[in-house]
Amino acid sequence: MEGSGRQPLDFEYIHKELVKPNVTLSLMHHEYEARSRANNAIPYYYRSFIRYYGNYAQKYKATMRIRRKPGEIMEVDWAGSTLFIIDRDTGEKVKAYVFIATLPCSQFTHAEATLSMDQRSWINAHIHAYEYFGGVTQIVVSYNLKTGVTKHTSEILY
């Protein structure tokens, strides 16, 4: 990579930025391209950028690949940032929350906006995701879920 006239990649910086909300490899590549051009250097194409970063992350960062069968698991969560939609009738700006469901093996994703993060919205969003995917999974994994757990109980509900 060095001596090729290309802008070097700052892997540590990229890795630190990727943990921030709404930061993606695509965004990092866009910033890298702009920095390269400002330095009169040649940027790597996106495909090479992600390959080099992937090699770095695999070699230097602790990660564990969890093997799953296709269709076995669905990962779900509310997206980090609140959005706004405009009411067509009133012109009012209304908060919208984005539900994301992903099948990790294929990265097949369902996303939908809801007006609330309550249990009804959460359950309906799951139903819509399963309708979109055309079936159900054996396992649902959620992250930092406050919507589904409001208090601990030892009761078993059927």
Give residue-wise pLDDT tens across range 127-152.
999 999 999 999 998 876 666 566 65
Q: Do 148 and 142 contact (CB within 8 A), yes or no?
A: yes
Q: Do 76 and 104 contact (CB within 8 A), yes or no?
A: no
- What band does 49 get if pLDDT is binned at 50, 70 and 90? very high
Give CA angle at 65 (63, 70), nearest 5°.
Answer: 155
Give residue-wise pLDDT tens across range 54-85.
888 888 765 555 666 788 899 999 987 889 99
**Gap between the Cα atoms of 43 and 36, Å rounded:** 6
- What band does 89 get if pLDDT is binned at 50, 70 and 90? very high
pTM for this model (two decimals): 0.54
